[in-house]
Structure 1
Amino acid sequence: MTNYREILRLDSLGINKVNIAASCSCSRNTVANVLQKAKENNLSYPLPDELSDKQLSEILFPPSEFKPTYKMPDYDYVHREMAKSGVTLTLLWLEYCDACRESGEIPYQSTQFNKYYNDYLKVTNATMHINHKPGEILQIDWAGDVAHVINTDTGELISAYVFVSSLPYSGYSYVEAFFSMEQESWINAHVNAFKYYGGITRIIQCDNLKTGVDKHTRNEVILNKSYQEMAEHYGTAIIPCRVRKPKDKAHAEGTVGIISTYILAAIRNQQFLSLTELNESIKERLEIFNNKPFQKKEGSRFTAFTEEKLFLLPLPQRQFELSKWKIATVGPNYHISVDNQNYSVPYEYIKHKVDVRITKNVIEVFFDGNRICSHPRLYGRFGQYSTVESHMPSNHQKYVSWNAERFIKWAEKIGVNTTFIIRFFLNRYKVEQQGYKSCMALLKLADKYSVERLEAACTKVLTYTLTPEYKNIQLLLQTGQDKITESDIATAQSSDTEHFSFTRGADYYKRSDD
């Protein structure tokens, strides 16, 4: 599905239609059509927060509009068949039309069929020289060679992976080493590179590595969610290279080779005891590299960069904060769990799956692309709860002004056993607030039956079970069994024995001499 929101965002950054089409994996005509429809509907980026992707699609292209979809020929197959004797484009077009009719799809006419084949030949057989514009593209990659840091405890060598970024227009580069190529290192490398350049290019060109691109096919490009979020924060566009097409970022590939020789090879015999020490040495060599005079023209990479820097986009006021995403299901207690801490969600979303954005300080919850709530992130002991009153059902909100300490203090005024049962009610639920209703109902019995009788009922029920229920105590009070003591039971048993004893006496059983 075409990402209309991304097209509008990139257009607002001044990206031309060709690059927007490349970033969003669609045609230039599609980009032009979307922008025209947005103009007709008075839509511009940023869009309203409450406007979902589905609503945006329906506004731009109502369901009533019908747009035919043509079947794109397999030009890899066409090219192979054209190498065979006697095969012509006309013959292949007729076969293509027959195949489309059998599958119920719409074929291109011969003119378009031939045009797309010529485009295919140009792309696959020709190498084009690209004149880069200043401040337009930043090309990035991981160097194939690695550096090493010595483990001070074991003496073993730890691999350090080298991130390389380069501006094609000036050749100005940034290099930094990391202990891993995971998501956190990948994002931090970008943030540090932007800070080093003092600005941002309109386009970032990268490989199809998993930390940046989740999926790259002929029809679509799906970026890693954190990577896409970083691009939106800095107002740039991510355009991955085509799969197995290193010429798409030939400048970065060349720079990687040069840096591997000029920097990494130069420090190969040095020993580093920390990553900081390694990066300081890389930085020294990098400054020499960027200020080294060109061989075939005047100036250096640094002098060329001073001109290009004027065309870079300004850095945002706030540095990007790396986030992680996960999918969570809202539980019956209207909370989700993140790293063994619990955060409330409006109770209407119970049993729904939500997207959770996790940063160092904030937890944000999204449903269908819309943010529904956020919480300060909890740290410390496991099992803590962050609960917002408005997220609770109305029958739970009645008890929000109460807390465990208040219930316990009230119970202590009644008696020890009442306090024990109140503590039991508070601890039996995952969410403490769910026990407030039972606590309130139990303590209110003192108003109806007296404090003494409630304590007596709690004492008696604990002789039967250590997991009492509110109904057990209520039943004891209703039937008056809380008033019956052990002595009363003994007296009752004694009176029953006397009532049913024999009263005839011994004389009654004497035998007569007669």
Structure 2
Amino acid sequence: MPHITVREQARIAGASPSATHRINKRCERYGVDHPLLEQFNDTEAKEALRIESKRIHDKREPDYNKALQELGKPRGKRKSRTILFLEYQAEDPSTALSKSQYFRKLNKVMKRLKIVMKQHHAAGETLYIDYCGTQVFYTDNGEKVWVKVFVAVLGASKKIFAFATAGEKTIHWIDGMTRAVEYYGGCPETISMDNAKALVNKAGLIANLVDNVEAWGLHYGCLMDTCRVGRPQDKSLVELGVKFVTQRILVPMLEMSFFSLHEINRHLAREVELLNNEKFQGFDISRNDLFALGEREILEQRGLPALPYAMVVERKLIRVQSNYHFKYKQHEYSVPYALAGEIVDVVITQSHLSISYQNEFVYKHVMSQEIMGATTIPEHMPVEHLADHNMCDKALNLEWARDISEPVTAIVEKWYSETNNPKSRPIAKRCKALMDMVQKRGEHVVTKAVEYALAHKMDRPTDLNLIISAQKLEGGFDKLPAYVRKHENVRGKDYFGGDYDA
């Protein structure tokens, strides 16, 4: 190796010439050359050159195990670092470190222990969800209405979604998740969440989820996963997303005026989109750019169900009545008549009632708000009941009448004009009598009888039978007495004094 001067050595090492000269002298004194020195690490090199680290002499080291054990307890149940220092100092003030030295050493030990694992996220794999601690409000009739903000973050692209809800109950979590997957255009493989009571019945390695949360996962074909209890770092991405949304969007919103939940969500959507378009610190790429690079395509391939999840509000076992209907909230719903007297399983969502019998699906009814009413499906009725049901159908009766003749249609329409109930049984009985009359007498005869009846204000079925019988005796409808309507242009015998003889 060519000889170089001390100044050149100092320049290469980035040290002062005097310090370099002292190191060279130590190497000569202890027989340490350059090739040997390269084999040592820093600690071994210091030992070979007899270089002692600066130490604080006569000062007692803290009991780190005791301090770490105390600081590992939950918040509110552990001593502060100041209390730990005061206890350490009280043992022997003369050998105790200063407060700044104590905190520096303790923090150094804490940092060595606080090691976190780098999480790797595949595109379309995980969506992390949480609620912000900070609330925002809108004004309704002069009163503040506070609302919660749901946040979701995709694992791979870190794309953020935020949506305000009225609360933080199960229905609000489900609403937030549904809107999030619709926003991203597809459902990921896994939803990662915390152990909130609205989501989890019992926490654990495999948590016991609330029924609606588990059903939501089945509906969208994804796993519902929970983080470890007291380990928010398992969903660190959404924790960071909540921090961004809170600091960048929610805190400024507290100085703004909103007058509805819709206004809040419209503002949130705009601001979150700006956040998703911002470049990452130190990179020339944004969340939306990462999302477009591959995660969007994977989520679109997984897709969404044809219909969004309808939350299960209630589940009941109900006995079917003898009229093959069951009652729920002052309204009755039909099931196939063969199930009369049986117990059926009814799952009630926000919009439908789904009926099963012995774990087999039977029928799904749309929820009705009609009090004391009934929803009856014709297919659920026995043959004789179905015939009676069809007899009371106004549309079917009018359709039959139009196939017969205009006069028959006119009399049926006249009958239905007398009632507001399209299912009127008395009117249906008249139509049934008219049908029987047509079948027995023939369409032509009944049509002529109806024409005569309408002209003479005789519209009851008994009147029609009387007209048909009378025309037989008289030899035809033309022989029956004709009704002449009186009006002001017709002068009777009173006009001529009673002596006019036509």
TM-score by length of 1: 0.49
Structure with the greater alpha carbon radius of gyration:
2
**Which structure is higher in RCO with an 8 Å CA cutoff and minimum separation 6?**
1
